[in-house]
Amino acid sequence: MSFDKNKTKFLLEERDIPHVWQNPAADLPSMAPILDSTTRRALGRQELTSSMAPELAEQELSVERDFEIPEAVREIYRQWRPTPLHRARRLEQALGTPARIYFKNESVAPTGSFKPNTSVPQAYYNHLAGKRGLIVETGAGQWGCAVAYAAALFDMSVQVFMVRVSYQQKPYRRSLMETYGATCIPSPSDTTRAGRSILADRPDHPGSLGVAKSEALELAMADKTLGYARGSGLNYVCAHQSVIGQEAIRQMDIAQEYPDIVIGCAGGGSNLAGLAFPFLRAQQLGGPKVRLIAAEPSACPTLTRGRIAYDYADAMRLTPLFRMHTLGHRFIPPAVHAGGLRAHNIAPVISRAVEEGFMEAVALRQVDCFEAGVLFARTEGIVPAPESTHALRAAINEALRCKAEGRAQTILFGLSGHGNFDLAAYEQYLSGRLQDDSLDDAAVAHGLASIPAVELA
């Protein structure tokens, strides 16, 4: 069959769903250990198993290159994977760029984002470990929805602590979780000690991923029949997301192309890791050099203004200490619509990739990202999630640079999810009522001052 030169979508069959998750830790210089926050000693498999399923603890500490995907998980992946890779032909035309823009479309997943790639295995391993339910925090709600979906397939209960500002901005995400059978609680809440203590300090607290995480962890620690599921950050979460990049490499090959630039939005870091690390590995194995770009909001500039340090992953210091870029666990970002990117910290593997120079980072303003989102809707039809507009905006910026330089580079970005549940944000943008996302130096200083003094490994 001859090559179809107008081809717009590059598809794979279910037999092409990857058989392994690639471990990003294997593609980096040896990772710093996770430290117990009291003893400051490295946590081993046994300690981790107290808060995660044994298989997940093993993946977290492993330096193996690959983890086999259990057949039960691959069977569920079939409901939506492999996801399509698209060429954004009409966006290219609108920009008048010689660049070719591709996007990996994770929005076709049941809950509309990349999150089920890891919620399904996490529900599976917790189910194997005998947990009757899951407990999680969620920012914009994409993680909560993904866990609610996955848990329904294993007949497990779910409680979701949802960052209050998103709970209010995105009521449909809550309804979606409830449709899957989950219970959704706005955070900070009065159902946990952590929540009550935060509300006592500041009754109008908008919530943050860190606070919601504290609440979820507190309840999970109090009831051993419940498992705690992690939406981002840890190595195993980033590994599970590697299905994105593994598929994308095969699909770029079908398109008879290879990207010069790969871009993902960066909040907790797992979506970006999932897309980018397989390209990093291919490069390390002798493949072409690729620029990897992390696109973060200027309202929460973890990679561009944070420090590399040991810090907690939650606001109330319930987690162990991770070595990573952090704005400090007390940092509270402005309530931008990209709720999933409002994290003070980032996955250690992403942090390390930036530290080593394998990856660049850019910070983007909300209004510029929504402008890109509207252009994308009017050319490609899909309304991107506010988070995903960051990757899109960075891709457009690169395409415009290509235009200025007269270079026909190939750009691949991750469309991590759709914005069907975020249309109130688009309405605010279109009516010029988008809230300010500017960050003052005092807020950054306040956050950075909360980083504990721990010597770096």
Residues that bind a copy of itself (CB under 8 A): 1, 4, 6-9, 11, 13-15, 75, 78-80, 86, 90, 108-112, 116, 149, 152-153, 171-172, 175-176, 178-181, 374, 377-383, 420-421, 423-424, 426-427, 430
Report the residue number, 105 or 189, with the smaller CB distance to a copy of itself: 105
Report the residue number, 379 or 435, with the smaller CB distance to a copy of itself: 379
Asked if residues 291 and 260 have their Cβ atoms less than 8 Å apart, the reply is yes
DSSP assignment letter at 286: T
Q: How far is the CB of 133 from a copy of itself (least distance, A)?
A: 15
Taking the C-alpha atoms of residue 204 and residue 127, their distance in angstroms, rounded to an integer, is 37
Residue 80 DSSP SS3: coil
DSSP code per residue over 383-426: PBPTTHHHHHHHHHHHHHHHHHHT---EEEEEE-BB-TT-HHHH
Taking the C-alpha atoms of residue 133 and residue 130, their distance in angstroms, rounded to an integer, is 9
Torsions phi, psi for 92 (to 5 deg): -55, -45
Q: How far is the CB of 80 from a copy of itself (least distance, A)?
A: 7
Q: Please, what sign has the CA dihedral across residues 163, 166, 168, 170?
A: negative
Taking the C-alpha atoms of residue 379 and residue 94, their distance in angstroms, rounded to an integer, is 8
Report the residue number, 107 or 351, with the smaller CB distance to a copy of itself: 107
Q: How far is the CB of 169 from a copy of itself (least distance, A)?
A: 12
Supply 309's token pair: 């340090």
Report the residue number, 348 or 386, with the smaller CB distance to a copy of itself: 386
Judge residue 18's burial from the number of C-beta atoms within 10 Å of its C-beta, 0-12 exposed, 13-18 middle, 19 or more buried.
Answer: buried
Report the residue number, 161 or 421, with the smaller CB distance to a copy of itself: 421
Residues whose CB is less than 8 angstroms from the CB of residue 153 and which lie 6 or more positions away in sequence, other chains included: 76, 120, 123
Task: Give the residue ranges of DSSP H helices in 2-97.
Answer: 45-49, 54-61, 71-77, 89-95
Report the residue number, 13 or 440, with the smaller CB distance to a copy of itself: 13
Taking the C-alpha atoms of residue 64 and residue 24, their distance in angstroms, rounded to an integer, is 9
Q: How far is the CB of 78 from a copy of itself (least distance, A)?
A: 4
The DSSP bridge partners found for residue 264 are: 294
Q: How far is the CB of 168 from a copy of itself (least distance, A)?
A: 15
- Number of Cβ within 10 Å of residue 385's Cβ equals 32
Number of alpha carbons in the 13 Å side-chain half-sphere of residue 324: 27
Report the residue number, 75 or 356, with the smaller CB distance to a copy of itself: 75
Q: How far is the CB of 429 from a copy of itself (least distance, A)?
A: 9
Q: How far is the CB of 229 from a copy of itself (least distance, A)?
A: 17
Q: How far is the CB of 247 from a copy of itself (least distance, A)?
A: 14
Taking the C-alpha atoms of residue 424 and residue 337, their distance in angstroms, rounded to an integer, is 9
Asked if residues 113 and 139 have their Cβ atoms less than 8 Å apart, the reply is no
Report the residue number, 112 or 264, with the smaller CB distance to a copy of itself: 112
Q: How far is the CB of 102 from a copy of itself (least distance, A)?
A: 14
Report the residue number, 171 or 452, with the smaller CB distance to a copy of itself: 171
